[in-house]
Amino acid sequence: MDAAEKEIVTTTDAAKILGVSVRTAQLLIEGGSIPSWKTPGGHRRVYRSDVVALVKGQELPATPASARVIVIARPERLPQFKAALESAPSCFVETYPEPFTALLDIGGRSPAAVVIDAESFAVADGVLHALGSDVALQHTVILVVGPEGRQTVVDASQGAGRVRFIDDIDDLAEAAEAAVRGPDQPGEGLEATSLFPLPGNEAQRLLALERSGLVDTPPEDAFDRLTWLAAQTLGMPISLITLLTPTRQWFKSRHGLEMADTPRSWAFCNHTILQNSCMISEDLSADPRFSDNPAVADAPNFRFYAGCPVVDPDGFTLGSLCVIDTRPRTLDDNQRAILTNLAALVSDEIKLRATHSRLRRAMEALDRKSH
């Protein structure tokens, strides 16, 4: 490596070379797309040659645009598929009893994978043709599960290069995770620190959070009403909508708590975003994951936490809707369902904003073309 290749540049310099925002450059570096190391002061540094090599590739590494996995199976078979995908934490699973409703709901947002239960459909050719001919799914992996699927004839018009046959449903989670993370993403995701766990798709999740444009925005009634409702309905003193950045847990909405954010390492929600359902700790002081947390060991002495994931339109988990108490608590099934549904309303609000943003950009593009 000559002197020019050994030149060390900062994240800001890398952003200028790449022609992207500093935030995007930071995410590429933290995600491992650009090799880097930390200085004794904790700052990331990279070689100019590694940044230039990325530019010469003429495009940034392909990052999966979705964490959604669509499952199509008969109603009585859907629980088995949902159970099989519980060990695929990077996937946001949506289930449908037949393919045409699924195609309608997919709309213009391509999922990472579509799973077809071969046992549910005696002849899968028609289903594959419908999926393969949909332009919205041209980058979507199609996973046909069950030995019956091997009898299906797949041609180029049905997206033969994207079809994977899986004989055993026990192998589905691994295949779905691979589809969500993409071929260029390592299986273990970003390197986890000793302070908190990271999901396997953390780099993609952080990019999705940046795209949402929600972090460090003013309070909004649409979100504040939901945290108020969660606190009142469940009888909790504190309710939060959290967003997890690389270094912070920032509160888009907060009820019963003065602080606007905490270090990321304090976030109970680091564990919530690792799963697709609510995460509950009935006594934080007795939970080895949280007993040493500063917010548990010292003021404000939290003791109970329950949180459900909040996702964007592409299925990436941005944070959570959570409730907290200063005494140990439990949630019954009805209360858990309330929290789950309120978190879904938060997700719906985020999805609605993303849809409005896409529509506005499309209208602006049409307006420019007309002038």
- Beta bridge partners of residue 141, listed in sequence order: 113
Whole-angstrom CA distances from 200 to 205, 281, 331 are 9, 23, 29
- Beta bridge partners of residue 244, listed in sequence order: 249
| Least confident segment among 61-75, 241-255, 261-275, 280-294 | 61-75
Asked if 116 contacts 149 with a C-beta cutoff of 8 angstroms, the reply is yes
- Domains of the chain (ranges, CATH numbers): 8-56 (1.10.1660.10), 68-181 (3.40.50.2300), 202-360 (3.30.450.40)
- Could you read off the pLDDT of 254-277 as tens digits, one per residue? 999 999 999 999 999 999 999 989
What is the dihedral angle through the alpha carbons of 311, 27, 172, 272, rounded to the nearest 10 degrees? -40
Q: Is the pLDDT of residue 163 over 80?
A: yes
pLDDT band at 173 (very low <50, low <70, confident <90, very high): very high
Mean pLDDT of 69-83: 93
Q: Is the pLDDT of residue 187 over 50?
A: no
Q: Is the pLDDT of residue 283 over 90?
A: yes
Q: What pLDDT score was predicted for residue 160? A: 54
The secondary structure of the chain in percent helix, strand, coil, rounded to multiples of 5, reads 40, 20, 40
Residue length of the chain: 371
- Rg (alpha carbons) of the chain, rounded to whole number: 22
DSSP per-residue codes, 154-203? --GGGTGGGEEEES-GGGHHHHHHHHHH-TTS-TT-SPP-SSS---TTHH
CA distance 227 to 237: 11
User: Which 3 state secondary structure label does DSSP give 97?
Assistant: coil
Q: Is the pLDDT of residue 67 over 70?
A: yes
For residue 290, what are the contacts with CB-CB under 8 A and spacing of at least 6? Answer: 268, 281, 284, 296, 305
**Of 363, 210, 351, 331, whose CA–CA distance to 202 is shortest?**
210
DSSP per-residue codes, 28-61? HHHTTSS--EE-TTS-EEEEHHHHHHHHHTTSPP
- Could you read off the pLDDT of 317-349 as tens digits, one per residue? 999 999 999 999 999 999 999 999 999 999 999
Q: What pLDDT score was predicted for residue 110? A: 83
For residue 32, what are the contacts with CB-CB under 8 A and spacing of at least 6? Answer: 186, 190, 203
Q: Is the pLDDT of residue 302 over 60?
A: yes
Most confident of 9-23, 140-154, 287-301: 287-301
Q: What pLDDT score was predicted for residue 30? A: 67
CA distance 321 to 323: 7
